[in-house]
Structure 1
Amino acid sequence: MSVQPVSVVIVSRHRPDELRKCLRSLQFQTHQNFEVIVVADPTSLAAVEAVGLQDQVKTQLFDEANISAARNVGIGLAAGEVVAFIDDDAIAEPTWLSRLTALFQTHDIAAAAGFVRSRNGLSYRWRGDHILPWGELRRFIADGLSIYGPEEEHPVLTIGANCTFRRDALVEIGGFDPNFRMGLDDADVNVSLTAKGYCTAIIPDAQVQHVPAASAYRTNRQVPLSLRENGASFGWWFKKRDRPTAEFERIRSALRDGFLTLRLNRGDIEPRDMARLLAGLDQGFADGQTRQPIVREIPPVVASFRRFSPILNGPHTVLRGHFSARESLFTEARALAKQGRVVTVFLFSRTTLYHKRWFHPDGFWVQSGGVFGKSYRSDPLFRRFNYDARVKREVADLAQTRELDRV
């Protein structure tokens, strides 16, 4: 079976450092037949040149705060049969694209999404959501590789940070709705595809790590600065789907009593901030209700497929040592990464420090923490390990997405 051509679209706006890391992670993909399309503002486009990938990447200038319109630009440039999306502040595991797209060759699906790891690289940020009629998401955990059809009670979300679609299906529905400038853009596509009778898959092992970066709407710790555009997306959702506006109170109450109250209790916001944010949400909802339908049509592809050349070469490698050996281990990892090796550096101390995983800008992964420390929420605060046993446990876990074959 030939490897299906895939177009990977990255929308980036004013985040060149995050984009560079995202592009670097794509150089280690096991999938060997894909192109990369970057739709971005001038500073982010400059990052493509900074990493020397300007001859391998399709680029398009776009400096408008509208994720849906930007994604449609990317679809228009996509020459692959399948179009994948990854956020500019996400890092792809080496097996991400192979696993995310393989099902399209064997099953009749139009969309798929993979699990998303959180900031610490260990816990999960997303493992499945149902989309309720009023736009609220109801979380669930996909039980292994799962396919959901239109007979489901509620459509299944494919989260925008880690998703893929048949290009023909996206073209059929006109791509993403530009009235969803931020938020609900992915949910709207999923509802539209489900209404057409298409199936959606969730593929747990197709993973990315999402480290949310700062934007005009939030800090890098996901503390909201404004909810007006979120409210506008809900306003348009309610108008587009003819939902009674009284249902918006469900959204407002859930946000106020859940997310915002949590941030208030943590000290991230003050009571006056909550009042301001909720007022912005209400104003945005009213704005969204005034929006009018936008005629959408994805133009035929005129650009040829521009194959991205992964540098993956040789077996995946684990380097290990104490924090004191950090610099020498990083030097070795950097050299191996330049050769195209997928490298994970374990930096363990004889402490109970919590573990975290992250991607180094020079092209290798790092996991740091205490030999006796906690990796997952289900772990005890202290667990007796010798060094070799701890490394063995973490290698076994990483094999899920990095196919490590030696230590």
Structure 2
Amino acid sequence: MTWDLLATVVVPVKDDERVYRLADSLRRQTLPHDRYEVIVVENGSRRFGDLAAAGDVIRYLRLPEANSATARNAGLAAARGRYLLLTDADCVADPSWIERMTAALQEGSASVVGGVIRPYAPRTWTQRYAITIVDGQDRLNYLPALHLPYVAGANAGFVTDRLREVGGFDEDLRSGNDVDVCYKLGLAGCSAAIAHDAVVWHEDRPTVRAHFRRFRFYATYQVLLFAKYKQHSGKRLVLDRYPFRRAAQAILDGPRAAARLVRGDAGPASRMLLQLIEAAGVLAGEIEGAVRFRQPYL
């Protein structure tokens, strides 16, 4: 197939004005505008139709219902780029992001590439001390559901043809559809890699409550992923050590954090507390998912 463009960037958005900030960063890429496009897919709201103008690198689509997987599939169907990149409305792309992601896909053997995710302008206590998405995605990530790696949709790139061959994103997964598509590609024989020089900056959840709810939401759909792929994993149930390991590490760090706090440094104690909240969110989500989807998973 002959492609019109090197890359298509797909951005799903619902009621998030930060998409304007992201759009500005995507307009200021080092890759020439005639080599890429950005497709903003508004789903479940009606606010951002003014993002695309005549002659702009940005195209605009709108879907009536909120579903990030459906939005990504709409972008995939309309894509004219050889490579399809994903990021989110709460992110900002480095000026060389598209160029470096496409270079990693062109030069390597991987059909799936994840870039590094860094915290964007932390303002609140939670943003300063909590971990960002998949702890920055400095390495490939794994879940107990399956042995294959995945990359997060905040900074991900794919060979467009391969995505279409595996059927795109699972619209039943309100969270984790980025993981799912990596699993489908992995089972089809595609490899994954990290592009360490392709950076996206992510604005993390600003409050403790939002931080907890984020991890609970992610973990709930981890259970559905397990249910979908257990015929490939061969597992009948899962014991996820991650929340227990995170909580244990936080507790072990407690004496050192307390000593630093006495000396006026609240950083270690803050990280310890938010790590415990993260672990509690994961555990709560896994219990909720196990009940909702009737799968042994904890």
Q: Equivalents in 2 of 1:171, 1:12: separation in Å? A: 22
- Which residue does the alignment assign to 1:282? 287
Match of 1:173 among 166, 181, 190: 166
> Structure 1: any 5+ residue segments left out of the alignment?
136-153, 291-407
- Percent of counterpart pairs with the same letter? 26
Residue type matched to 1:173 in 2?
A: V
For residues 100-146 of structure 1, the C-alpha deviation after alignment (integer angstroms, 9 at most, x for no partner) is 102333444312121111234899722113324436xxxxxxxxxxx
Task: Quickly say closer, same or farther: Cα 1:42–1:275, change in 2 above 3 A.
Answer: closer
Secondary structure of 1:11's match?
Answer: strand
Cα separation, 2, equivalents of 1:190 and 1:265: 31
Aligned positions, number: 261
Instruction: Letter of the 2:174 partner, please give it.
Output: R
Q: After the TM superposition, which residues 32-111 of structure 1 pair with which residues of structure 2 at under 5 Å, given as runs? A: 32=32, 33-41=35-43, 43=45, 46-49=47-50, 53=53, 56=56, 57-62=58-63, 64-111=65-112
Aligned mates of 2:228, 2:22 — CA distance in 1: 34
Cα pair 1:228 1:281 within 8 Å, conserved: yes
CA distance, structure 1, for counterparts of residue 285 and residue 151 of structure 2 = 27
Deviation at 1:22, TM superposition (A): 0.1
Matches for 1:198-347 after TM superposition, within 5 Å: 198-212=190-204, 219=207, 222-225=210-213, 229-242=217-230, 244=235, 246-250=237-241, 253-254=244-245, 266=273, 278-279=283-284, 281-289=286-294
Matched, 1:158 2:151: yes
Q: Gaps (5+ residues) in structure 2? A: 123-127, 255-268
- Alpha-carbon deviations, 1:21-60, whole Å to 9, x = none? 00011111011211111111465x53351x5647633222
The aligned residue for residue 142 of structure 2 is 131
CA deviation digits over 1:282-335, x for unaligned, max 9? Answer: 223322348xxxxxxxxxxxxxxxxxxxxxxxxxxxxxxxxxxxxxxxxxxxxx
The corresponding residue for 1:26 is: 26
Larger radius of gyration: 1
> What TM-score, normalized to structure 1?
0.54
Q: Does 1:13 align with 2:1?
A: no
Change in Cα spacing, 1:171 to 1:276, as seen in structure 2 (3 Å) is: closer
- The 8 Å contact of residues 111 and 192 in structure 2, kept in 1 or not, is answered as yes
Q: As a proportion of its length, which structure holds more helix?
A: 2
What per-residue deviation string (whole Å, max 9, x for no partner) do you get for residues 241-272 of structure 1?
226454245355356657899889648999xx
Give the secondary-structure state (helix, strand or coil) at the position aligned to 1:283: helix
CA–CA distance in structure 1, aligned partners of residues 22 and 98 of structure 2: 13
- Determine the C-alpha separation between the residues in 1 that align with 2:208 and 2:16: 12
Cα distance, 1:238–1:230 mapped onto 2, change above 3 Å: same
Query: 3-state SS of the aligned residue for 2:193?
Result: strand
1: CA distance, partners of 2:248 / 2:114 = 29
Larger displacement relative to structure 2 (238-247 or 256-265) = 256-265
Q: In 2, Cα distance between the equivalents of 1:250 and 1:65?
A: 32
* d(CA) in 2 for partners of 1:180, 1:42: 16
